[in-house]
Chain A
């Protein structure tokens, strides 16, 4: 660890000498601001995309949108999944619950669980619950 620290310190000095900007906070394997901004931006793009699907009248077939019943994704409580969904009689993930909503109130076709649409919906829903502690299995 100590050796690594020294290598990093040397690298940092080299970067500074090279005129590059870098945070002086010392910790191992630090990301650059640019990297962090890039990743956040990718994430927020998907949050936005998820919100678009969540408010879209064409996610299902009957023009009903998720947000009609769940303003700001309220009462979707993604932090409680996976959990025993008593109405289905088994433990499910939030993706399965989203698909239930799409198939029933929205009268639509279930999404592929690892597809971009589902990923974006989960990303949006979870982002609206930022700060709420994980509590899987809770009812």
Chain B
């Protein structure tokens, strides 16, 4: 399916090319067209309260725009996945304001937790509004799993004098007093049991907030028990992991597992390679985005159309001030590749 087919009219095409969000199409190849479906993905809005009813305008606008664009999609997505970090400091007022903006969605929403939603009250208000921290569901032949990958060890969680202090530390991406994310033993047991009843030929899509692969520990582009989760996913023929948190394009292939990140609606993050002191492991496969231009506030924020064909997925990134990109599964090389830039040797606008 061409990207333009998702946009309802020619009138909305121009707007569509500028607005951040993601659409996923699940397809099972020729001969099984009835099963094809799409979903969209919006993530990392970081709604931030200034005072009272005042919220940071820039972050509000990013989310509003994504929701509005999502409403224009044709065909309508079966659902919209929200990838976590609705809030900046986990406040009820921030989560509520974010959900109010999301309520403009004409599509059904499903939610995942991010660390910014969690570390103030350990997800209490989020749960009250949105339910379970981790769950699974089946949709038209695909098994979906939503994980809470932003947990950390109990000792760290309990060492702070208040939830505000704990959230403040975890909200600082580069705060050296932070703690690495993990899915944890209890949830891994649940995952193994949940997948135990799924046929190994069934395509699996796993949503996690943090990458279930290790990229850079200093900024929690990292999940401590990533290898253990990968091992649980190993028996399945087609596994796709889609994650938020990193606010940039990343993709990778580890064995049978294809990894894709999604864009933030709020702001972009630099690649870890731009931090001169960092020891980082950005997947070699990833062709980096250009450096964001701060003079355009939606630059390097965005969303994706995600097309899952034959159980593998293609992501079309819609980037307001950059050229849009498509990272698709190459069935010959068995890995995700940028459709235009993967083999282009021309250097991008460099991060330095």
Contacts and interface: CB of A to CB of B under 8 A. Distances in A.
B219 A69 contact: no
A9 interface: no
Contacts of A67: 172-174
B174 A105 contact: no
Contacts, number: 71
B292 A75 contact: yes
Interface stretch (B120-128, B192-200, B270-278): B270-278
Given A70-B270, A75-B274, A105 B293 contact: no
Contact of B267 (A68, A80, A100, A131): A68
Contacts of B293: 87
Nearest to A71: B174
A130 B58 contact: no
B4 interface: no
> What is the predominant secondary structure among interface residues of chain A facing chain B?
loop
> What is the predominant secondary structure among interface residues of chain B facing chain A?
loop
Contact of A69 (B268, B275, B278, B352): B268
A54 to B, nearest CB: 10
A139 B56 CA distance: 30
Given A69-B269, A71-B173, A72-B218, A129 B56 contact: no
Contacts of A80: 352
Contact of A72 (B56, B275, B294): B275
A68 B57 CA distance: 15
Interface in B270-293: 270, 272, 274-278, 291-293
A128 B276 contact: yes
A80 B274 CA distance: 13
Nearest to A80: B352
Interface string B317-352: 000000000000000000000000000000001011
Interface in B27-48: 46, 48
* Centre residue among B49, B58, B352 by max chain A CB count within 10 A: B352
Interface string A64-96: 100111111011010110000001000000000
B225 interface: no
B269 A71 contact: yes
Interface in B54-82: 56-58
A116 interface: no
Contacts of A61: 50
Given A69-B294, A72-B174, A138-B352, A62 B50 contact: yes
B295 interface: yes
Interface in B167-217: 172-175
7 residue pairs, one from A and one from B, having the closest CB atoms: A71-B174, A75-B270, A74-B270, A87-B295, A71-B173, A74-B275, A74-B274
12 contacts: A55-B175, A62-B48, A62-B56, A64-B58, A68-B267, A70-B270, A71-B174, A74-B272, A74-B274, A74-B275, A105-B58, A131-B277
Interface of B: 46, 48-50, 56-58, 172-175, 218-219, 267-270, 272, 274-278, 291-295, 297, 349, 351-352
